[in-house]
Amino acid sequence: MDKKVLILGAGGCAKEVFFVCIACKRKVVGFAEENLGKTKKEMYSLPIFDINGIEKGFKRGEIELVAAIGSPARKRVISKMKEKGFAFVEKLVHPSVIMAANVEIGEGSVICPGTVMESDIKIGQHVLVNMSCTIAHDCMIEDFATISPGCNLAGNVSIGKKSFIGAGTTIIEKKSIGENSIIGAMACVIDNIPSFTLAVGVPAKVKKVLKEGELWNQEF
């Protein structure tokens, strides 16, 4: 029997992951967030817990976690919870997703409704592929990457670890996005994009070189 699921995050991404859980017939017991403070205490009539105190409310082995945090902070939070001994879901794939039998999906990754994935695709751990994306043959999406709604990846595209691909982006065949990079919404990528960069536009051009701490403080 599947264990109950606790969603890490309580924002918009968590709302989407919640409904993927429901569609996959997984029982959600609540959400968890850092620095809970005076923010809302429940969502969809389920409690929002403080991430730092999860071990006080749940026994290890009683629940599985899934990370629903859109930013690169996802990796840090996941590492913290693994150090505490909590396990993560194997994967969550919405029933409406169309994919070939030889698609590989790593631990904790979430594939949202309406996405189509062709053959020989490898998706790493704790990747978020949002709604209505198309991912063609022989693509590689590495750990902790985020693919926003409506993205189109042509064949043999590679996405590096912790990179964020903005909504509606198109990446032509055989191009790569380096690790820790951000591609702005509606971009068209026709050249390789190096690691630690912000790229925007049609065609996408590098706008800024990023430092680790800047990865989620960009306007694009």
List, for residues 108-139, the tens digit of each pLDDT value: 999 999 999 999 999 999 999 999 999 999 99
- Bond into 95 cis (ω within 30): no
**CA distances from residue 163 to 97, 109, 174, 180 in whole angstroms, order as listed:** 22, 14, 17, 5
pLDDT in tens, 95-108: 999 999 999 999 99
Identify the CATH class of 92-203: mainly beta
Average pLDDT value for residue range 142-170: 97
Q: Residue 88 — very low, low, confident or very high, per pLDDT cuts 50/70/90?
A: very high
**Mean pLDDT of the 40-48 span:** 89
Of the candidate ranges 69-73, 112-116, 200-204, the one whose mean pLDDT is the lowest: 69-73
Q: Kindly indicate the confidence band of residue 1, based on its pLDDT and cuts at 50, 70 and 90.
A: low
* CATH architecture of the domain with residue range 4-89: 3-Layer(aba) Sandwich (3.40)
For residues 29, 34, 39, 44, the Cα torsion angle rounded to the nearest 10 degrees is -20
Predicted confidence (pLDDT) per residue in 73-85, tens digit: 789 899 999 998 9
For Cα atoms 70, 139, 173, give the angle at the middle one, nearest 5 degrees: 105
The mean-pLDDT minimum among 6-15, 59-68, 131-140 falls in 59-68
Res. 60: pLDDT tops 80: no
Of 6-20, 43-57, 99-113, the poorest mean pLDDT is in: 43-57
What mean pLDDT do residues 174-190 have? 97
Range in 2-16, 67-81, 117-131, 180-194 the model is least confident about: 67-81
* pLDDT for 216: 59
Q: Sorting pLDDT into bands at 50, 70 and 90, what band is 220?
A: very low
Q: What is the mean pLDDT of residues 206-212?
A: 89
**Helix or strand run (H / E) with residue 73:** helix 73-83
Average pLDDT over every residue of 142-171: 97
Higher pLDDT, 209 or 213: 209
The torsion region of residue 41 among left (phi > 0), alpha (psi -120 to 50) and beta comes to alpha
Predicted pLDDT of residue 214: 65
Domains of the chain by residue range: 4-89, 92-203
* pLDDT for the residue 107: 97
